[in-house]
Amino acid sequence: MCYLQPGYHADEGKRFRIHEWLGFGGRSPHYQLFTAEDKATGELVMVKVFPTAEWRTGEIESELDRIRDLEHETLIRPLDFGPVASESYPFYTGSLAYVAEPIQSGMNLERFLEEEPPPEKVEPIFSSILDGLRFLAAEWVPCDVPAREIVLARPDLARWSLVGAERCGMGSLPNVVRTISHRYPALAASC
């Protein structure tokens, strides 16, 4: 079931007006992705909607506040987050939360790797990913991000959202690094 319909607002302040349902996202089938107009800027943004039953609300807000404070070129930072306006989902009985983020254009890493690019095209992207993961391990928590959710913003810059990212244990190798290392062992050895 689609949580929100076009024309409804994601937030109680009516800043984000839903345009289109894009599908499911993140690691959970309960995350739904929408495009929305940000009335503050007039730009289209990505809105992620999810049931708050998955997390306790206080934890969501605390974690999103922390994510918003992190500054690194690889991270897509939330513009806003909070409870979904209750009148926006008349057919769902639970409570919902949203996170609004800038839309990123570019190919995702999964599709990029399927094309089997030469190592010289992969190296700057791999470097960017490693740099971002090292930053997160030092400043927040080690985490893993699915290759399908990493956007190649430039030939030398990979970007991703931490909303829905999976935490991993200290010292464990994120799957995205393992995937690239397996396909390009010479790159892994040089890092």
Q: What phi and psi, each to the nearest 5 degrees, are found at residue 100?
A: -105, 135
Q: For residue 167, what pLDDT is reported? A: 74
In whole angstroms, give the CA distance from residue 83 to residue 77. 18
Q: For residue 27, what pLDDT is reported? A: 57
Mean pLDDT in consecutive groups of 10 residues from the start of the chain, 191 residues: 81 91 73 91 92 64 84 93 77 79 92 95 94 88 83 94 73 78 83 62
Burial label, 10 (beta-carbon count in 10 A; 0-12, 13-18, 19+): buried
pTM for the model stands at 0.82
Q: For residue 178, what pLDDT is reported? A: 85
Instruction: Please report the DSSP string for 77-110 in residue order.
Output: --SEEEEBPGGG-TT--S-EEEEEEE---S-BHH
